[in-house]
Amino acid sequence: MQGQAAAASAPLDLLLHLADNALVLGQRNAEWCGHGPVLEEDIALANMSLDLIGQARLLYQHAAVVKGGGATEDSLAYFRDAKDFRNFVLLELPHASASSDRDYAVTIVRNFFYSAFMLLLWDALQASKDTQLAAIAGKSLKEVRYHFRHSRDWLVRLGDGTPESHARTQAAVNQLMPCTAEFWTSAALPADDTARLQESWGEWVTDALHDAGLSRPTWRSGLQHQHSEHLAPLLADMQSLARAHPDAQW
């Protein structure tokens, strides 16, 4: 029975890649809880974090079945080291900029770049032969539509705002755009559809930056398949309780 299920499942690396992306960004965005620039944004970021953690749970549960050997969603999330995580580097970077240790423009730009990518990817994955992954994609697509609208609206608001908000947002775009090169090497991309998805993503980004009065930087490449020094501390903070009580029942 398990062999039949595995035969119809997406590759484990792909499931972990998607799950790790959602978990790491969910953890990063949750850092704004209690620190949002206004109360509404404090709540919005917390809700989006919960969406991402929910996506990660579904993906880890599916990955645990595919992996077998007693794997669980908790073992995959809390008991793998940084070197074993498959998330995009973009998602593990702190909210910091040259002008602030906690810059909301960095958060918004990152969420916009990633949600635009995932809006396209979840839509494509609804056609996956892995019916479980297709169902997760359908559910996640509804959530990421809101993430995209939220981040795009704030991108335009900040870019078209005060001189300081414009400068910070342009700096965030310049800082993070190179990291998006890694999107197009994702294991989750349909091989015959990558060019179309990349073109659509580029058009959405260009349109949003134009509406925000921001410039799209030119760049050659970015970090790919190599974690930054920021992932291990992020995971250590997230995993500390589970590792301190490995036999606990949650």
Nearest residue to 118 via CA among 172, 51, 64:
51
* Contact present, 79 and 242 (Cβ < 8 Å): yes
- Domain residues of the chain, as ranges? 2-215+227-244
Average confidence score pLDDT of the chain = 90
pLDDT attached to residue 179 = 93
8 Å CB contact between 228 and 175: no
Tell me which of 226 and 174 has the higher pLDDT: 174
Residue 250's pLDDT is 54
Residue 190, both tokens: 């349909």
| The pLDDT value given to residue 1 | 36
Global pTM exceeds 0.85: yes
Average pLDDT over residues 152-172: 97
For residues 144 and 34, the model is more confident at: 144
**Band of pLDDT at residue 219, cut at 50, 70 and 90:** low
Confidence of residue 4 (pLDDT cuts 50, 70, 90): very low
Mean pLDDT over 145-149 rounds to 98
In this prediction, residue 220 has a pLDDT band, given cuts at 50, 70 and 90, of low
Calculate mean pLDDT across residues 22-50. 90
What does the pLDDT read at residue 229?
A: 82
CATH topology of domain 2-215+227-244: Ferritin (1.20.1260)
